[in-house]
Amino acid sequence: MAEFCRLAQKHGLYVIVRPGPYVCAEWEMGGLPWWLLKKEDIRLRSNDPYYLERVGLFLKRLGQELAPLQLARGGNIIMVQVENEYGAYATDKAHVAKIRDLVREAGFTDVPLFQCDWSSTFQRNGLDDLLWTINFGTGADIDSQFKALKAARPDSPLMCSEFWSGWFDHWGRRHETRDADAMVRGIRDMLERGISFSLYMAHGGTTFGWWGGANNPAYSAMCSSYDYDAPIDEAGHATPKFDKLRALLQTYAESPLPEPPAPPPVVTVPAFTLDRAVSLFDTLPKPKTSEAIRPMEAFDQGWGAILYATRLPRAAKKGETLTIDETHDWAQVFADGRLLARLDRREKAFALTLPADLPAGTRLEILVEAMGRVNFGGSIHDRKGITRQVRLGEDVLTGWQVFSLPPGHAFAAAKAAKPGTHPAGPAYWVGDFTLTTVGDTFLDLRDWGKGMVWVNGHALGRFWEIGPQQTLFLPGCWLRKGRNEVIVLDLKGPRSPTLRGLDRPILDQLRGNLSDTHRKPGQDLDLSAETPVAEATLKAGGGWQTLAFPTPATGRYLCVEIRSVWREGPAAVAEVDLLGPDGKPLPREEWRALYADSEETRSANATADKVYDLQESTFWQTAPEAKAPHAIVLDLGAALQVTGLRILPRAEKGAPGQPKACRVFLKNAPFRL
């Protein structure tokens, strides 16, 4: 990090340091180290003594490297951030104050300290002695975003500390893009108002290896590519979005801007075969034993895959239920080596119906891949593997052997892959290709199932046939003239064990993804016999609005019906909160979308689950041709006592679909669909 700052200074650039310790960034656990979860009662992002002790050690070491580089000491660091978007996580000024103190104790005393949040959350934890900045994205109404901040601090400088130029991709969802003209308009609006901004991201990139995070609810892991639809793409190439941004900034520059550098060289690699392989089950490490199921962290493992094996204590009948509570995150279940089922946390698939009788003594094996720890919200306490227990019917299974399968290159390279073998199921595959010219390339994984890739010892990242990402970026600096080695761990098995290097990425090809919508063929919601617990006409304009219930209501199934909107067109909702007896928002981790009469999936990922994903910049929107009324139905996971509902329309300036007339239904029995 210090070397990066010195390099920036060499080129005349200043640096804003955002050390967290929680940073989000779609990074594993928001940048917090996995081993914190080895302590079973830890409370992350709180004044938990153990957590604060670890944070203090981290910040002290960071200060040793970076504090001497503050502007007043001859360096180029001009600001340092305290925590990150904490108002979207909790209300705890004492904790933010403690992090502020630790940042100062680390030596950051000669530059302004600041905290960032959203326009709806910045005052929850705002400290008087810190600068406040706001984060928002392309299309936002700039005046609305800063209205509350200007009222609270009329003399404070204004800054958008994260202006989201694009968005990140999730496995099984369409590739995300954001409009270039809307991005440029937002930046122009800020420049005209004297508002500072930081582009997130100016340059996309790659989350190499196993570092990609996940969102929850609903659980959804990020792709390895972090291209982000940024002005400079994953491989460092300027895009048409960059050209528009550059043209705008030129109008404010005092002198001509330099021409962008030539793009890095790109090479193609002809198709080659990975001709050596070995089954994962033939190369298992020495097992550990555990009477009860325990998560991955309990076995001192942070990432990769983990295999749990036991013998059935009794015969199991066809049709019995095997419950794996919970699978974090993607599991394959085997009986005496035969695949029974695959379970996907994205679908809350934590159980299977046995397809055949299994005799007592059958070897049950459950192979679980950790797909990335949740990096946002309360779900960051995201332990991997199997987190609770495994039950056959009502019988809890015990007596486990546990095999840790870490994702490091040394572990993968130690496998004795043999030529001419073609194992079915999980296996390591090894091959070589030869180059005469070195350059960046994009490995084409379309023939493969699900797993990880290493080239010359470097972990490129995860792949998954469902997409939308179908290639892995391979930087030319990791290649060499002559022979290059590739290792692929495919947990499903390839259609063909071949690879090739393309001259451009494939980031927008979905195959076999989850259903685009939450409405099954023939489904129609029938509310004719239902009585709403609340109904209201919302005010025109953006921002959160509250529908207070006349009397508290209890139920598991929620229906929000939008009978009309303020502007002609589709209906759109960014977020929904339910308020508990204390008037505070209830947790959403167990919520699940059951139905939406319409969802726009052609031009955006505007599905119903976006109303509870804790992201104000994503939204549910109906298709333009769909007619009101519109409704979504959510399963809350348990019966909750509710005193009101908060609803947030889309945040973009002039966006259509703001709800007008609304009805809310809450009941214990499912709605008729």
3-class secondary-structure state, position 594: strand
* Helix residue ranges per DSSP H, 127-173: 142-152
Give, as one character, the DSSP assignment of residue 221.
Answer: E
Which of 26, 28, 83, 85 is catalytic? The answer is: 85
Q: Which residues pair with 225 in a beta bridge?
A: 206
Which tokens hold the place of 102?
């630790």
Q: CA 39, CA 111: separation in Å to the nearest integer?
A: 35
Question: Any idea of the CA torsion for 25, 30, 31, 34, to the nearest 10 degrees?
Answer: -150
Q: CA nearest 26: which of 530, 315, 380, 414?
A: 380
Instruction: Decide if 86 contacts 115 (C-beta within 8 A).
Output: yes
Widest distance between CA atoms in the chain: 80
Which tokens hold the place of 618?
């994503």
Count of Cβ atoms closer than 10 Å to residue 530 Cβ: 16
Count of Cβ atoms closer than 10 Å to residue 420 Cβ: 7
Q: CA 70, CA 103: separation in Å to the nearest integer?
A: 13
Q: CA 386, CA 219: separation in Å to the nearest integer?
A: 15
| Residue 85 known to be catalytic | yes
Residue with the two structure tokens 């419950």: 323
Q: CA nearest 474: which of 433, 417, 427?
A: 433
Q: CA nearest 304: which of 499, 34, 122, 119?
A: 34
User: What per-residue string of b and e applies to 205-214 under the rule 16 or more CB within 10 Å gives b?
Assistant: bbbbbbbbbb
Contacts of 502 (CB under 8 A, 6+ apart): 268, 441, 442, 443, 444, 471
Evaluated on CA atoms 4, 7, 11, 15, the torsion sign reads positive
Give, for 521, the enclosing helix (H) or strand (E). none
Which tokens hold the place of 212?
């990609």
3-class secondary-structure state, position 369: strand
Q: Is 385 left (phi over 0), alpha (psi -120 to 50) or beta?
A: left
Which of 26, 28, 83, 162 is catalytic? The answer is: 162
| Residue 40 known to be catalytic | no
3-class secondary-structure state, position 387: strand
Q: CA nearest 73: which of 19, 111, 114, 130?
A: 111
Residue type, 57: L
List strand residue ranges (DSSP E) for 264-345, in order.
269-273, 276-279, 288-290, 305-311, 321-328, 330-335, 338-344
Instruction: Decide if 84 contacts 20 (C-beta within 8 A).
Output: yes
Q: How far is CA 373 from CA 17, 27, 451, 499, in A?
A: 24, 8, 16, 29
Quote the Cα angle for 493-371-621, to 5°. 105
Which tokens hold the place of 243?
């050209």
Give, for 666, the enclosing helix (H) or strand (E). strand 661-667
Which residues are identified as catalytic?
A: 85, 162
